[in-house]
């Protein structure tokens, strides 16, 4: 399982450029599920179970990650860019990046020696930064890149005791959970969607949900764990090692209360997401067609939307167990 997570996280798939992750997942699912892709690049998979479900269920995880996209090239050959998704400006400086065609670069800015006293007191904004790919002119840079090329901040995958560190745990952890479930025997038929462009506005999920037309949905995500020094207990959101975070509400969705209660009372290690923050594909899923009863189950993740996300292996395992439990509860018809 950990090797699969490493493989997924080391693939580069900023929003709108999910090809490599999509191909990896399609290859991994051969023989386990019937798969198709739609016009946006979503994967829609059908898992045949032992029994027909009483309720039609869709389980979603998004393939894309936060990244950068090139907006212009200076006369000196430096690349100007903007971010894809919510990346704090302070984590960008001096990072290495890989663009979609394999070109590497370094994010730089004005040297400290040339900065004013006021400039030294704050992190530079993204629009003050540039990417240096080692060329000397605009003409030379344009041999390697085009405006509109996207990329990601580089990071290695590391095991840290019971935790793992990598880029893109949001939402390759969700993709891993869904892959593991699709490879197992299932009591009931269900649909799985691996969707595009969540980090820039849930576009893929909107299309995929309309296509599947489910009665119920589970969104598998990663969510902020602020269980770190200097953060009060009321603001921690969730804690590594205490299982998946079960959402009752975020900034875009009020979740189905019955599903929420059933998950928390499952006997599987899990925790309420103790903050009304963020959002995910549920915002599009639960409003599709005539409405979809929806719940989000999220792997707690420290330093989310950075190259050094940290997640707990047991939390991922418990997310698999809880999702399987919810599949059986929903598809059996116990929930009306």
How would you classify the pairing of strands 158-160 and 309-312? Answer: unpaired
Closest CA to 8 of 64, 49, 47, 53: 64
- Cα separation, 271 vs 333, in Å, equals 25
Could you tell me which residues come within 8 angstroms of residue 139 by beta carbon, excluding any fewer than 6 positions away? none
Residue environment code for 5-26, b if the CB has 16+ CB neighbours within 10 A, otherwise e: bbebbbbbbbbbbbeebbebbb
Neighbours of 125 (CB within 10 A): 11
Which residue do the tokens 């997570």 mark? 5
Do the beta carbons of residue 190 and residue 58 sit within 8 Å? yes
In eight-state DSSP terms, residue 206 is H
- Cα separation, 143 vs 158, in Å, equals 35
Secondary structure E strands in the chain: 34-37, 43-47, 57-62, 67-73, 79-84, 96-99, 104-108, 130-132, 150-153, 158-160, 163-166, 190-195, 216-224, 245-246, 271-272, 293-301, 309-312
Distances (CA, A) of 30 to 23, 36, 183, 291: 11, 11, 10, 31
Q: Which residues are catalytic?
A: 198
Strand partners, 81: 70
Cα 237 to chain centroid, rounded: 17
Structure tokens that stand for 40 in this block: 């946006």
Cα 21 to chain centroid, rounded: 12
């Amino acid at each position: 399982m950990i090797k699969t997570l490493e493989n997924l996280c080391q693939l580069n798939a900023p929003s709108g450029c999910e090809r490599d992750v999509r191909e990896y997942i399609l290859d991994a699912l051969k023989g386990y599920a019937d798969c198709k892709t739609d016009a946006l690049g979503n994967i829609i998979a059908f898992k045949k179970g032992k029994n027909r479900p009483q309720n039609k269920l869709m389980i979603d995880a998004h393939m894309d990650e936060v990244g950068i996209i090139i907006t212009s090239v200076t006369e000196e050959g430096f690349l100007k860019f903007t971010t894809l998704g919510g990346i704090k400006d302070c984590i960008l400086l001096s990072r290495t990046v890989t663009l979609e065609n394999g070109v590497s670069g370094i994010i730089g800015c004005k040297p400290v020696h040339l900065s004013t006293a006021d400039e030294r007191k704050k992190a530079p904004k993204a629009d003050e930064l540039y990417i240096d790919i080692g060329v000397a002119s605009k003409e030379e840079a344009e041999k390697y890149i085009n405006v509109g090329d996207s990329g990601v901040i580089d990071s290695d995958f590391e095991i840290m005791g019971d935790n793992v560190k990598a880029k893109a745990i949001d939402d390759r952890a969700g993709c891993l959970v869904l892959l593991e479930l699709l490879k197992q025997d299932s009591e009931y038929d269900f649909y799985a969607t691996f969707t595009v462009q969540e980090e820039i506005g849930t576009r893929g999920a909107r299309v995929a949900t309309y296509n599947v037309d489910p009665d119920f949905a589970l969104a598998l995500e990663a969510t902020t764990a602020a269980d770190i020094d200097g953060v009060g207990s009321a603001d921690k959101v969730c804690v590594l090692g205490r299982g998946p975070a079960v959402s009752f509400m975020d900034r875009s969705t009020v979740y189905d209360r019955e599903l929420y209660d059933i998950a928390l009372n499952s006997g599987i290690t899990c925790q309420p997401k103790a903050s009304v923050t963020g959002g995910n594909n549920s915002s599009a899923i639960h409003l599709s067609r005539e409405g979809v009863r929806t719940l989000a189950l999220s792997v707690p993740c420290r330093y989310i939307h950075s190259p050094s996300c940290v997640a707990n292996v047991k939390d991922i395992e418990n997310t698999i167990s809880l999702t399987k439990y919810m599949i059986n509860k929903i598809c059996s018809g116990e929930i009306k």
